[in-house]
Chains A and B, each alone.
Chain A
């Protein structure tokens, strides 16, 4: 009986996620919002691993995101024969994740002694250095021109045709990415590494005096986080189709993108598996709702959203999912008493 419920709990949400696009077939706009929500939830998950589980307050998450998208962009730019307008570009996602992982390791090595708020600022500095160098190196990255990434062509199989101009394939890709990241992060948090992460989050020095190799654990956290964010960035580049390193809202290598991820995690609940998804849903879906309701009176929607963030923190500082699990823990505690 118990097992049956368990299976239902697994299968129902996945089925629901699979069915939603069929219900919304005539609504590409809503599907587009879903894709963005899943994509940014996935990206926010990377910050969640780093800060929520391992306690490393990085403000340079956009660096990993940007490295991922620039991997795809540079592949298209320098190897157009293979990657431009071809389905090989999907390999770029893995490459983007790998490059971002390496960058994460490099930053982890460089900043191995830097802690807390200084670490946050060091990550901003690395982000800005890379952004400025990418802007300057026009021969390599086209600088402020940015890079246009054409949509991958139709993918023809004997049974059906996947057209990547439509939203539905993108919906499923983003959905499975998010699902996978949730499962991986959940398993990570239950494993031995979850405890090790927690130990360096609580007190890095104390942990290392008890024999935890805090340097290695930190590198591991940076690598996982970089990999996830790199994949998110690479997929973003393919989906939106244009990237540039300018300092503008939504720029892939800017502080705005880092802060987006942080806000999503904090709304949803930091250090929880589902927090990023809830936060992304609120930030993107609710933000879009405000935008189309008040957008023509430019600014009103953002004022409302900003005030909500403040009110939100004052009442539920642990985030939505964080508070829910807090309440549940309290209830269990009371029952046991």
Chain B
């Protein structure tokens, strides 16, 4: 069945409403948390209690760990999710336009127990919060 209903321009470029953000290769391919943070421009981060991370204390299966982030920081521009002990820590970045609440919910793979860190960009500044998620192995494998 047809995969897409988007019309392609003559240059083969895709136009869907606003321009798509380019995939942040350096950030996503960083193996160290600090490099991933640098990759998304988060030099200095302020710890914030206005970022809520909804995730299980214990994840039954590291392949599907639900994580939802809510930012109460005004003028939130983006929300990033970092699983600190993952081989490539940066899992996702959500650019939030004015038409959406600063909220995103996804499921991520986690290789082991680790901090799940949310990084919020608001008014050009960076804020962060983290929650430890324990990853277990259930049953007999």
A in complex with B: no
Q: Which residues of A contact B (CB under 8 A)?
A: none
